[in-house]
Amino acid sequence: MATLIDILSQAAAGGVRAAEQAQKAARSAEAGQIAGATVGAAAIIGSLDDAAVKLGSVSGRLAAGELDSAGSAAVGRSLRALAVAETALDTGIARVVASTVGSTLGPGLQAALTEFGAALGLTRRAAGVAGQSVSGAQPVPVSSLAIPGVAIPSAATSAQPHLLVLSADNGERYYFGLGTAAYETLKRTTSFNVAAQERLQRPEALQAVSQGGETISVSGAIFTKTKAGARQLDTLRRIGAALLPLQLTTGYGDVLGRWYLTQIDEEQGALMPDGAPRKQTFTLEFRRYGDDFANR
């Protein structure tokens, strides 16, 4: 069952990756950047095809087996991420289709999305057979920041809401929430690289050089005697040490894109007699991974 859950998690990571690629391709298409939109469309189709194959490989096994509560929760989280990605894909691909390159790129994108949607539908139905705790889960309250009018199916909900999802390309995922590392604040900084040139007896001249970069900082505290335990930051350090870009998706469904985990600060307090902390205060810093598309 662990392998099944791993494959489903990889499919979810592929769906989230395709949703981000769809947003980038849409921006390129709307700006008339044909090369960037074409490369983006190819990336979307590749990600969707891979996710559809993975979903197809687990549907039959889900329907034939039974899930325990932990397995049901893991499947539910992956299905919820896939549902959010599907909504973002619909929006992004519709923007590409409506652009000047829609007649060229639209048919391939829509075919890939249809195949992905069919595979996801089969997986949802199979999950409903495999465990009542998935199909009968209570819907997670959705923030007012979520896309209005989009209802997440009960089969795609998780029994435990989360603040942020960190997804690696290999399918590994980390959920920031009450059961892991619940952060109290999130700070997002966007910079624009504008260079200044000193001029004799005149105001300095400014010139826009690049779009700059972005950072996200999250800060919070872990109380080690709760369910979270004392090893959450070790898990995050291991993920960061892989030095790979990571997908970030909010609990309300906003795909933030790909980021590097660049820094982890930890402060231990309320120490027990053996030195173990009762409280770990932490700050994580993520820096945005640059776009790779042409004409960007």
**For residues 51 and 225, which has the higher predicted lDDT (pLDDT)?**
51
pLDDT at residue number 67: 62
Distance of alpha carbon 171 from alpha carbon 6, whole angstroms: 7
Residue with the two structure tokens 């769906």 = 15
pLDDT class for 228, splitting at 50, 70, 90? Answer: low
Q: How is the chain split into domains, by residue range?
A: 2-160, 183-288
pLDDT at residue number 284: 95
pLDDT at residue number 90: 84
The arithmetic mean of pLDDT across residues 40-50, rounded, is: 91
Residues 6+ apart with CB under 8 A from 48: 14, 15, 18, 89, 112, 113, 115, 116
pLDDT at residue number 122: 84
Q: What tokens does 240 get?
A: 């960061």
- Most confident listed range (77-81, 156-160, 202-206): 202-206
Q: Which residues of 210-219 are buried (b: 16+ CB within 10 A; e: fewer)?
A: eeeebbbbbe
Q: Is the pLDDT reported for residue 149 higher than 60?
A: no
Q: Which of 13-17, 128-132, 224-228 has the lowest mean pLDDT?
A: 128-132
pLDDT at residue number 216: 95
Query: Which of 284, 261, 263, 245 has its CA nearest to residue 17?
Result: 245
The fold of 183-288 is Elongation Factor Tu (Ef-tu); domain 3 (2.40.30)
Q: What tokens does 173 get?
A: 């995922």
Angle at 25 between CA 24 and CA 31, to 5 degrees: 95
At 90-110, the pLDDT tens digits run 888 888 888 888 888 988 998
Q: What tokens does 182 get?
A: 């619940």
* pTM of structure: 0.52
Distance of alpha carbon 126 from alpha carbon 96, whole angstroms: 32
pLDDT at residue number 142: 38
